A = this chain, B = another copy of it.
């Protein structure tokens, strides 16, 4: 095998390459476009644990027959402010896209709406799901459960997924403020990266298969589990995410789905909830300016940066210079697309 040169791709080029991979592995045109844009955005913004690092997992999952790349999400108009989607075993992001116009209508009409997605696979970061709402002037919250890999506080058995919560809000004069944080002390993708690169975890992030504290990422991945962030408070947030993303939507809990018949499957088959608010319907015209003022004050108080600042800085460089990929990574992606 000849040595590959490193490359820099535009966002559109990377989306095109990833879209070809999804199409090549049985994903419908609509879903392939959504998933490729999502994954490329993570890579562009430096969310590397959810960028092209995930592509082998997508491919292996699709090859296993665990996820239905051709699923047509069924959007149900349940109530004036309540939309429900059966993703029918497909990915969550195309289900969101299918529901978006109806959800936006409801939010604009009524001031708030809930979107409950079930029977969906979510394998990416959560911030790409909420940021576009904030770019349209809306406040968005989202909750997604995943696969049992986090022990409840004081417990021995993994039950919760990493169960992230994402929040996005518009700000006056700058990009939306967005955070996306796992309810675990560390994201599962970061444990995978640590294992691959041979880094130790920090104390308090994981336990081994016997429930004993460990800093070895391989021990966590090999039958061990993650700990919630912030002790019992983080554990309660993880539990709330199970309630909102699975019980309320009608999706699976993080420990319920059984992929044992699908070797190579990696995507959690659960549910996802969105709460979207239109601040303008509350009659408070100064909202976006007030959020900007608040963010200024947090930086003045000495916090070194806000969530999302690093992403936007990396994005700015990528938009100017291109998205850097290692040569062997680029070659592997092309192989996935064409091979």
Rounded to whole angstroms, the CA-CA distance of A184 and B62 in the bound complex is 43
The listed residue (B112, B279, B286, B287) touching A112 by CB distance below 8 A is: B112
The listed residue (B78, B111, B229, B301) touching A151 by CB distance below 8 A is: B301
What distance in Å separates the Cβ of A60 from its nearest Cβ neighbour in chain B? 29
Q: Are A78 and B282 in contact (CB under 8 A)?
A: yes
A253 close to B (CB within 8 Å): yes
Q: Are B78 and A111 in contact (CB under 8 A)?
A: yes
Q: Are B236 and A307 in contact (CB under 8 A)?
A: yes
CB-CB contacts below 8 Å: A247-283 with B: 247-250, 253, 255, 275, 277-279, 281-283
The listed residue (B82, B179, B275) touching A275 by CB distance below 8 A is: B275
Question: Could you mark each residue 103-126 of chain A with 1 if its beta carbon is under 8 Å from any beta carbon of chain B, else 0?
Answer: 000000111111010000000000
A246 close to B (CB within 8 Å): yes
What distance in Å separates the Cβ of A176 from its nearest Cβ neighbour in chain B? 11
Across-interface contacts of A306 in B (CB, < 8 A): 239
Closest to A108 in B: B79
Question: Could you mark each residue 190-227 of chain A with 1 if its beta carbon is under 8 Å from any beta carbon of chain B, else 0?
Answer: 00000000000000000000000000000000000000
Rounded to whole angstroms, the CA-CA distance of A95 and B143 in the bound complex is 29
Q: Are A109 and B82 in contact (CB under 8 A)?
A: no
Across-interface contacts of A239 in B (CB, < 8 A): 294, 298, 306
A56 close to B (CB within 8 Å): no
Across-interface contacts of A253 in B (CB, < 8 A): 290, 294, 297
Closest to A113 in B: B112
Rounded to whole angstroms, the CA-CA distance of A124 and B293 in the bound complex is 28
A230 close to B (CB within 8 Å): yes
Question: Could you mark each residue 161-184 of chain A with 1 if its beta carbon is under 8 Å from any beta carbon of chain B, else 0?
Answer: 000000101000000010101000
Q: Are B303 and A111 in contact (CB under 8 A)?
A: no
Rounded to whole angstroms, the CA-CA distance of A94 and B242 in the bound complex is 32
A155 close to B (CB within 8 Å): yes
Q: Are B247 and A287 in contact (CB under 8 A)?
A: yes
Rounded to whole angstroms, the CA-CA distance of A169 and B158 in the bound complex is 23
Question: Could you mark each residue 284-324 of chain A with 1 if its beta carbon is under 8 Å from any beta carbon of chain B, else 0?
Answer: 10110011001001101111101100000000000000000
Q: Are A303 and B152 in contact (CB under 8 A)?
A: yes
What distance in Å separates the Cβ of A138 from its nearest Cβ neighbour in chain B? 11
Q: Are B152 and A116 in contact (CB under 8 A)?
A: no
The 5 closest A-B pairs by CB, nearest first: A230-B230, A82-B111, A155-B302, A79-B111, A81-B110
Beyond A81-B111, A155-B303: 20 further Cβ-contacts under 8 Å?
A: A76-B283, A78-B282, A79-B111, A79-B278, A80-B80, A80-B81, A82-B110, A82-B281, A112-B112, A112-B113, A112-B275, A139-B248, A156-B302, A169-B243, A230-B230, A232-B307, A246-B294, A249-B282, A250-B282, A255-B297
